[in-house]
């Protein structure tokens, strides 16, 4: 009977509707944005949340374009002048953010940030 119980628990545990790797998981999380937050901002926020908030927790309150500008991190239309962007690919090797053991942002995600910030 004990074994049956264990099998049942394993079955339930494997029925999650997302891949329980932490990055995926948080993309399905409800995040409330203020009215007018563009789809591009929202997609970028989710990426930054997964990859950067672990160290840059103060950024979690930036849910409007203007807040990113006011923080001096984004200059819309000027990716090369936006530290949020250039720290990802410039400096060696290849980009200095995120630091430490955290993996480099994949190009597909980098592209999403550019879709938001502009060229």
Write out the residues near ligand HEC by the rule CB under 6 A: 51-52, 54-56, 73, 83-84, 87-88, 97-100, 102, 105
User: Would you say 14 or 108 has its CB closer to ligand HEC?
Assistant: 108
User: Would you say 9 or 25 has its CB closer to ligand HEC?
Assistant: 25
User: Would you say 52 or 117 has its CB closer to ligand HEC?
Assistant: 52
* Minimum distance of ligand HEC from residue 32's CB (angstroms): 22
Residue 74 contacts residue 102 (beta carbons within 8 Å) = no
Residue 95 contacts residue 104 (beta carbons within 8 Å) = yes
Residue 118 contacts residue 77 (beta carbons within 8 Å) = yes
């Amino acid at each position: 009977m004990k074994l049956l119980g264990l099998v049942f628990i394993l079955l339930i545990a494997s029925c999650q509707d997302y891949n329980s790797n932490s990055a995926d998981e948080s993309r399905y999380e409800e995040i409330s944005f203020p009215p007018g937050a563009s789809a591009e901002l929202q997609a970028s926020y989710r990426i930054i949340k997964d990859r950067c908030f672990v160290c840059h927790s103060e950024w979690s309150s930036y849910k409007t374009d203007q807040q990113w500008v006011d923080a001096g991190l984004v200059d819309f239309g000027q990716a090369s002048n936006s530290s949020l962007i250039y720290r990802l690919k410039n400096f060696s090797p290849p980009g200095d953010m995120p630091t430490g053991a955290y993996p480099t942002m994949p190009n597909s995600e980098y592209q999403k940030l550019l879709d938001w910030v502009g060229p």
